[in-house]
Amino acid sequence: MSKTHRSRRTRALWWRNRVFVSLALLGMVIVGSVAPPIAAPASAADYPSWAEVLAARNNVTAKKAEIARIQSLLAQLEADKKATEAVAIEKGNIYAAAQQAFDEQDYKTQQYQTQADDAQAKADDSLKRAGQLAARLSRTSGTDFTSTLFFNGDNAQNLLAQLGMANKITDQSQALYDRATQDQKTAQSLTDQANLAKAALEELRDIAEKARAEAQAAADAAAAALAEQQANNAKLQAQLATLQTEQIHTEEEYIAGVKATWGASGAVEISSAGWARPVSGNVSSPFGYRVSPCHGCSSYHQGTDIGASCNTPIYAASTGRVSYAGWNGGYGNLTRIDHGGGVSTGYGHQPNGGIMVSVGEFVTVGQQIGRVGTTGASTGCHLHFEVRINGSAIDPVPFMRDRGINIH
């Protein structure tokens, strides 16, 4: 086995072992995570009716029991919400780690492929040069130099000089051939590394997808628990107040207060290509590598940060179906929309309770889907806006500009 071959094989084995160790560690994180138990939410039949509450007001024992019952239901709703939120955060963090691993491997794979392509182009050029020189030499290889020397004495010195030059050309041809051979080996080595990187990328893609599905299931459970609490909390609080005071409080009073906490969608400019600016504001951090990443942030910024005040409406950049809505590590509360054709957009750092859509929901361009916040790895209110093509993050600014939307 040649030294060059051994070196190439050693690099390949090192890279393969490194990939497998990384995949194993990430798999251990995902498989080894244990979700805390979640109490089953109270069924609709467990909630007291207004008739029961009003009937209990005139009986001390019944009133006391009804108050305890309502307080228990309120506590259970809060416990369910917190438990499901904890699981959603845990699963979201795992998904974020898996997605980050995929993004980093995706970048490395692209770099390896670029290097392999460049090396192959160089090898092809070297082989072409060696072939051209070999072809020139073969056209003069049939010359009878001995006869020429005996019958052309006057030109013998000149012919010998030419013969010496031919020898030099032959040496040059050998050097070109050796160089071409080495360039081809280098190109093959880089191609092997690129192929290994691609294989690792597919493994990480599968892991990330599994983590996404688990995170989404946890997010759905958390959203369901929150919706359960919001749907019943107002009524229970009103019933509890009715039992604890002499005044009969209405459910509508509390519902109005709950509704007031939610923002309302507003008009937004839509381009002729069917795309809209996701939020009003200026770019505060561009796409790409950061010189000084924030604490908890990746040095490779997969999106564009747009500065905006907390609770500023976030709009769907285009029509599509919600593919993720929940906690996602450094993204905080994240919404992703699948627009078809491999194109998706992401909206990160939304406040708790700020996501206004759910997975599977069909949204239209310009529809309000959430509110600006500062959850996750964020130091102030802004929208982290992402665009991905077949899962790979790209710079959103030129992408949106090509669709008639300028983000400055």
Q: Which fold has domain 3-258?
A: Helix Hairpins (1.10.287)
In single-letter form, the type of residue at position 380 comes to: G
With CA atoms as reference, report the closest residue to 314 among 366, 262, 255: 366
DSSP state at residue 279 = S
In this prediction, residue 225 has a pLDDT band, given cuts at 50, 70 and 90, of confident
Confidence check: pLDDT of 387 > 90: yes
DSSP string, 176-199: HHHHHHHHHHHHHHHHHHHHHHHH
**What is the rounded distance in angstroms from the CA atom of residue 243 to the CA atom of residue 237?**
10
With CA atoms as reference, report the closest residue to 351 among 328, 379, 367, 332: 332
Would the pTM of this model clear 0.95, i.e. be above it?
no
Alpha helices in 141-155 (DSSP H): 145-151
In this prediction, residue 115 has a pLDDT band, given cuts at 50, 70 and 90, of confident
Architecture of the CATH domain 265-401: Distorted Sandwich (2.70)
Domain ranges of the chain: 3-258, 265-401
In this prediction, residue 262 has a pLDDT band, given cuts at 50, 70 and 90, of very low
The token pair that represents 119 in the structure block: 């090396």
Find residue 344's DSSP bridge partners.
Answer: 338, 388
- Between the alpha carbon of residue 190 and those of residues 113, 129, 177, 390, the distances in Å are 8, 22, 20, 24
| Rounded CA Rg of the chain | 34
